[in-house]
């Protein structure tokens, strides 16, 4: 039996004073959980914000300080890559908007504090994306070898092209032309988000606070992946709390209505308040109540079990089942049933072939001289 629970990990974020009587073993377990969730630097920033950091055991502080160094390096790398991309793609005509983590950092938003990045996300209009991709390939950005099915998925059904990795720096860029997959039938008019872009003092295009928040919560609640669900929930909580004014809330609610993602807004507010105590004004709560779904009991089951810190030390009892149900729900939201069956059948077949004959069975072979 471990001496730390998911509930306690959350409580420490909401109220760092909760860790006052932590044993050294509890601190060690907390570090393991936060590192797994990519939240060490985020919690470090929270501890410093509440003047609790100096009360943490010195040996434990080192883990947080090392995470701070890594987060600072990531921030510098993101700003460097953003400057390079903005300059290199300036001749492509369309807007280039930085999304998610990169957008948080470039906007100098509170939600970007302690952020660890896996990639950089960009949004541009579909008419420009072919030119953007060609230009990036000329500059050393390459996509990995894909099966014909995966290539078709990206080109025909998805909301983005295959990820591009820089040949020398290893940076990965995801270029989007929509917020959700085209095959889902819920794709958004890109202009709705393009109109919500703002320019930072450094000249980067990012989303406005309402659009940034809506995109973040769509990414969590319209998705089939919740491995970092708790981190994503903290992002949404921070976006809401750092922009907690009437203009922000009315803009967020209006944009959710225009794009058809009111349900996702309802769920984000519900679980942010439940887990993190997010303060939602009465007028906003009343307006968002119209999006309450009929199957709220089912959604409560899957999300209360998957939006908590996920680690073997503190994993909720029904996490495995709930994660599987989120996976099914996410796929059903993204694809019509006949496409989903075809997609799963094809992916399963590929996985079996790779298991039997090796992962390179579908890799194209170069002609031998």
Domain ranges of the chain: 6-335
| Across 324-343, average pLDDT | 74
CATH architecture of 6-335: 2-Layer Sandwich (3.30)
Residue matched to tokens 């807007």? 95
Tokens of 256: 């959710």
Grouping H, G, I as helix, E, B as strand and the rest as coil, residue 292 is: coil
Rg (CA), the chain: 21
State residue 159's pLDDT score. 83
Contacts of 179 (CB under 8 A, 6+ apart): 123, 159, 187, 188, 190, 193, 215, 218, 259
Residue 91 pLDDT exceeds 90 = no
Is the model's pLDDT at 234 over the cut of 80?
A: yes
358 versus 89: which is more confidently predicted?
A: 89
Could you tell me the pTM of the whole model?
A: 0.90
Q: Any bridge partners for residue 142, and if so which?
A: 165
Q: Residue range 340-345: average pLDDT?
A: 58
Least confident residue range of 122-126, 191-195, 270-274: 191-195
- Range of lowest pLDDT (1-10, 334-343, 359-368): 359-368
Q: What is the DSSP string of 58-90?
A: HHHHHHHHHHHHHHHHHHHHHHHHHHHHHHHTG
Q: Which residues contact 291 (CB under 8 A, 6 or more apart)?
A: 256, 262, 263, 265, 266
229: number of Cβ within 10 Å:
23
Beta bridge partners of 121: 99, 174
Residues forming a β-bridge with 172: 165
């Amino acid at each position: 039996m471990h001496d730390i629970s998911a509930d306690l990990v959350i409580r420490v974020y909401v109220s760092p004073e909760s860790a006052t009587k932590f044993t050294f073993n509890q601190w060690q377990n907390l570090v393991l959980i936060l590192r797994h969730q990519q939240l060490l630097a985020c919690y470090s920033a929270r501890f410093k914000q509440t003047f609790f950091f100096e009360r943490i055991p010195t040996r434990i502080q080192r883990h947080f300080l090392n995470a701070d160094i890594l987060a600072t390096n990531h921030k510098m790398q993101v700003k460097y890559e953003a400057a390079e991309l903005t300059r290199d793609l300036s001749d492509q005509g369309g807007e280039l908007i930085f999304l998610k983590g990169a957008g948080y950092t470039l906007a100098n938003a509170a939600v970007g504090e302690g952020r660890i990045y896996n990639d950089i996300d960009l949004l541009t209009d579909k008419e420009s994306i072919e030119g953007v991709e060609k230009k990036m390939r000329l500059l050393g950005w390459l996509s990995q070898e894909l099966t014909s099915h995966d290539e078709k998925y990206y080109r025909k059904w998805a909301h983005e092209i295959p990820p591009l990795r820089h040949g020398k720096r290893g940076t990965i860029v995801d270029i989007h032309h929509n917020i959700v997959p085209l095959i889902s039938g819920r794709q958004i008019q890109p202009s709705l988000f393009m109109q919500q872009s703002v320019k930072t003092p450094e000249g980067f295009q990012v989303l406005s606070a309402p659009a940034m928040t809506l995109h973040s919560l769509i990414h969590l609640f319209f998705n089939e992946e919740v491995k970092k669900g708790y981190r994503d929930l903290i992002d949404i909580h921070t976006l809401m709390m750092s922009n907690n004014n009437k203009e922000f809330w009315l803009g967020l609610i209006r944009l959710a209505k225009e794009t058809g993602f009111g349900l996702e807004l309802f769920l984000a507010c519900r679980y942010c308040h439940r887990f993190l105590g997010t303060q939602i004004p009465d007028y906003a709560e009343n307006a968002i109540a119209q999006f309450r779904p009929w199957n709220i009991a089912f959604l409560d089951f899957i999300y209360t079990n998957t939006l908590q810190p996920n680690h073997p030390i503190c994993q909720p009892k029904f996490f495995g089942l709930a994660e599987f149900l989120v996976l099914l729900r996410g796929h059903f939201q993204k694809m019509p049933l006949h496409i989903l069956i075809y997609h799963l059948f094809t992916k399963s077949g590929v996985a079996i072939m790779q298991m039997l004959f090796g992962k390179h069975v579908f890799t194209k072979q170069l002609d031998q001289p």
